[in-house]
Amino acid sequence: MADSFDFIIVGGGPAGCALAARLAAARPDWSIALIEAGPAKSGLASDVPLGIGQLVPVKSARNYAYDTVPQKQLDNRVCFQPRGRGLGGSSLINGMIYIRGQAEDYDSWERDELCHGWSFADVLPVFKRAEHNERGEDEYHGTGGPLNVADLRSPNPLAAAFVEAAQQAGFPRNPDFNGARQDGVGFYQVSQKGGARFGAAKGYIAATSRPNLTVLTDTQVMRVTFNGKRATGVEIIRGGKRSALTARAEVIIAAGAFGSPQLLMASGIGPAAHLRQHGIEVIADSPDVGGNLQDHADYTINRDLAHRELFGLTFGVIASLPRWWREYKRAGTGKLTSNVAESGGFLCTEPGLTRPDVQVHFTISVVDDHGRKRHFQTGYSVHTCVLRPKSKGTVRLASADMRVAPLIDPNFFGERDDLDRLMRGVGLAYKILQAPAMAPYQGKPVYGSAFAEGAELEALIRAHADTIYHPVGTCRMGGDPRAVLDPQLRVRGVEGLRVVDASIMPTLISGNTAAPSSMIGERASDFILSSNRAGALAA
């Protein structure tokens, strides 16, 4: 294995995979190393969409399964933060929903955060370039890109009933949440191909073999190395042995909203007093590293319901698995192709809002505590989250050792407005469940009364709400000097170092974050390919 590369990318999630593939393809004369702490192969439970139920709840080779610090506004509960580990990152274990967010999200980055080059007009062509939408190309969608986007092959009848009920409740049908408008209800498009999960590694890395791209899996990066203020490489542990790799041009951190600030701090970039507490030499005092954590707090309405189209740990479901497997292998169709969270939508909780402020997901099984509390009964759930929360949390070091999980504090409902907005959103979900199309499927509430409100609903939210897996913002970019990154994702205070993943978002986008993470990797490749440093390297 070579020990020197032009570019070293730390983290094989959607952003890291996109960036590595684009740089390697554009410049065959550059050497690229993509380093990932987890395994190279996705595994059967990841490839088969319904296997998500086995991936999210447990710590494994492909799931960091972090815990948060106790959440004061959630009855002091320790919440759960599953994150993908392996080539593909969280696209290995996520719900496969392909959502970009609202145009206003990106326009606000440029306008309010002074992030030139990040308006929706700037990023839409990048989204289209990355996409192969099976519906075809149009004003909002591309074909021929590395990320396959498809409609569900075998939509569930109850997911369809939920959409019909939402229309009866007054919400418009929206066939494309990534089109001209986001508001309304419908089925989600998914990152699948032929009925199988199609994550970032399959699209960007496995689809091609390039001699100038070295992929190092099962490799833990311990810190970025420096010569003065310039990043020179990384220190790694691979196969139990510690060694160093050198980067001639840049080191790029793409380790996610938890891993990227952790690695910056472990390398000497962050709040100076905090670093000194852990015996870390301060390279650059950057107080906002690990701050600005934003996430979608989610409340789940769970209903037990005996129905042949729903899932659960029942004899009937288990007995049907061989038949479902045969159909899946033969045709790539059937119940195993379900991403579980099949339908949903984007809703406004108050009159006069110009864009949706909550999102709902309808899932075809009970999802109690991320699936960690098993139900020997079929059922369904309706998830509701606030799209643009005001609450902000932190990521801090528990140790200078990157193998020790960081201290994660999302500060859920630190701002009361988030809780009030969520309660209104749950009220809209109840309204949909009471519409005629869902009337035959009321089932039995797992917690609380059938249509809780007021103090009862607030108590239920505090007792059961948690993440729906979209942490961002901990290495925010911005035009202000306090921002961790400049708008081209370069780390302020040092040279030769960038961060490229969801941690760069100054504010949380209005939706699921996998597609925007890939876009960020794509966008970073444009910056690097046109940069002065890249020109000097080419010369």
Question: Where does the pLDDT of residue 2 fall: very low under 50, low under 70, confident under 90, or very high at 90 and above?
Answer: confident
Considering its fold, how many domains does the chain have in total?
Answer: 2
408 in the same domain as 437: no
402-418 CB burial, b ≥16 within 10 A, e <16? beeebbbbbbbbbeeeb
Structure pTM? Answer: 0.97
180 in the same domain as 328: yes
126 in the same domain as 106: yes
SS3 for 71-135, per residue? Answer: ECCCCCEEEEECCECCCCHHHHCCCCECCCCCHHHHHHHHHHCCCCCCCHHHHHHHHHHHEEECC
Q: What is the mean pLDDT of the chain?
A: 97
Q: Pick the catalytic residue: 141, 296, 464, 470?
A: 470
Above 60 in pLDDT, residue 532? no
Q: CB–CB of 381/303 below 8 Å?
A: yes
Q: Give Dmax (Cα) for the chain.
A: 70
Specify the CATH number for the domain of residue 407.
3.50.50.60
Above 50 in pLDDT, residue 457? yes
The mean pLDDT value for 158-163 works out to: 98
* CA separation for the pair 259, 405 (Å, rounded): 9
* CA separation for the pair 518, 15 (Å, rounded): 5
235 in the same domain as 117: yes
* CA separation for the pair 181, 60 (Å, rounded): 38
319 in the same domain as 214: no
Specify the CATH number for the domain of residue 453.
3.30.410.40
User: By residue range, what is the domain housing residue 524?
Assistant: 1-147+191-295+395-412+470-539
Q: How many CB atoms lie within 10 A of CB 493?
A: 15
The mean pLDDT value for 287-308 works out to: 98
Helix (H, G, I), strand (E, B) or coil at 398: coil
Strand pairing class (379-386; 297-304): antiparallel
Structure token digits, residue 127: 């989204």
513 in the same domain as 532: yes
Please, which contacts does 281-286 make with residues 24 or more away whose CB atoms are closer than 8 Å? Answer: 283/226, 283/229, 283/493, 283/494, 284/229, 284/491, 284/492, 284/493, 284/494, 285/493, 286/484, 286/491, 286/492, 286/493
The mean pLDDT value for 25-53 works out to: 97
Q: CB–CB of 412/351 below 8 Å?
A: no
Would you state the pLDDT for residue 213? 97
**Is 470 among the residues known to form the active site?**
yes
265-288 CB burial, b ≥16 within 10 A, e <16? bbbbbbbbebbeeeebeebbebeb
Would you state the pLDDT for residue 533? 58
337 in the same domain as 211: no
307 in the same domain as 231: no
251 in the same domain as 357: no
Please, where are the H alpha helices in 284-360?
315-331
The mean pLDDT value for 263-292 works out to: 98
Q: CB–CB of 11/234 below 8 Å?
A: no
Helix (H, G, I), strand (E, B) or coil at 262: helix
For residue range 208-217, list pLDDT tens digits in order. 789 999 999 9
If we measure between CA atoms, which residue out of 76, 80, 42, 37 comes closest to residue 58?
A: 80
The mean pLDDT value for 441-467 works out to: 98
303 in the same domain as 274: no
- Domain end, chosen from 464, 485, 502, is at 464
* CA separation for the pair 518, 363 (Å, rounded): 25
In angstroms, the Cα distances linking 82 to 10, 333, 412 are: 19, 28, 16
Q: CB–CB of 496/532 below 8 Å?
A: no
Binning the chain into helix, strand and coil, the percentages to the nearest 5 are: 30, 25, 45
Above 90 in pLDDT, residue 92? yes
Question: Where does the pLDDT of residue 69 fall: very low under 50, low under 70, confident under 90, or very high at 90 and above?
Answer: very high
* CA separation for the pair 527, 490 (Å, rounded): 10
51 in the same domain as 90: yes
255 in the same domain as 214: yes
Helix H or strand E encompassing 531: none
The amino acid at residue 484 is: V
In sequence order, the 6+-apart residues with CB closer than 8 A to the CB of 173 are 163, 167, 184, 185, 186
* CA separation for the pair 304, 316 (Å, rounded): 15
For residue range 410-451, list pLDDT tens digits in order. 999 999 999 999 999 999 999 999 999 999 999 999 999 999
* CA separation for the pair 271, 286 (Å, rounded): 5
Question: Where does the pLDDT of residue 539 fall: very low under 50, low under 70, confident under 90, or very high at 90 and above?
Answer: very low
